[in-house]
Structure 1
């Protein structure tokens, strides 16, 4: 049976871009796990019985980062499905893209995470050890830059 998880790639715009580099004002929220290899990831988690995928993403973001749906807006048109293997079992993770409404909102970590950082695309890709996550972050950035 395939494990299924869902989450949000949360970003904030610090200011209107005034330099020629489109997207240099965008930062992504990554959380560092307090277990295993202490990898960095957007908030995500396993689907509970009776939940749909988006409900899971919203619940996990609330539990792991202290952010409920009033803190962000989910962008239409971006949904990414990753498929990989964890401990010999197939896993599917679905991400939506969400923009923070107030960039100064406090992040409140659960015990599952030990740190968080707001990062530029390059920084987020460096901290994210997995190629599929790096690719997803780049796709999110392209999506955001194409909207401006």
Structure 2
């Protein structure tokens, strides 16, 4: 059985030294090894993937779908094994991410109990925080996609 999760890579545009730049939102889990990740979560029965991504973003970061827009054309699926601490072995997991731009760069993030901290990070910092190579690759792909598709 494969666990399925969906989420959004939320970004905002910020002005740095008169140049527009991109920052990504990463949340730090309050459980396990306290890893950093975009908001995401498991698909509930009867729920479609995008509904899951929107629900999880609101639950985990307090950001409602009215506060961002989904960027057309970017969808990334990650597939990996998760070590299950309750029994010996691994579980397969599939996570789908879409890109979403925050409408108001000053919108307030409100964490759920599943997370203990959040950061808005430039690409290099976001990759450093994320630690996992597949997430680093995804953030890099998202950034390159945005450079080619965002209007000033």
Instruction: Give the alignment's TM-score, normalised by structure 2.
Output: 0.92
Q: What does the per-residue CA deviation read over 1:49-91, in whole Å, with 9 as the maximum and x for residues that have no partner?
A: 0100000000000000000100100000000000000020110
**Could you tell me how far apart the structure 2 residues matched to 1:61 and 1:17 are?**
30
Alignment of 1:121-136 (within 5 A): 121-136=123-138
5+ residue gaps, structure 2, are: 84-89
Moved over 3 A (4+): 16-19
5+ residue gaps, structure 1, are: none
2:51 paired with 1:61: no
Coordinate RMSD, CA, aligned = 1.3
**Could you tell me how far apart the structure 1 residues matched to 2:141 and 2:109 are?**
24
Name the structure with the higher strand share.
2
For residue 77 of structure 2, the aligned residue among 63, 81, 93 is: 81
User: By how many angstroms is 1:115 displaced?
Assistant: 0.2
User: Which residue in 1 is equivalent to 2:98?
Assistant: 96
Number of residue pairs matched by the alignment: 144
**Could you tell me how far apart the structure 2 residues matched to 1:39 and 1:72 are?**
24
User: Which residue in 1 is equivalent to 2:9?
Assistant: 9
**Could you tell me how far apart the structure 2 residues matched to 1:33 and 1:143 are?**
27
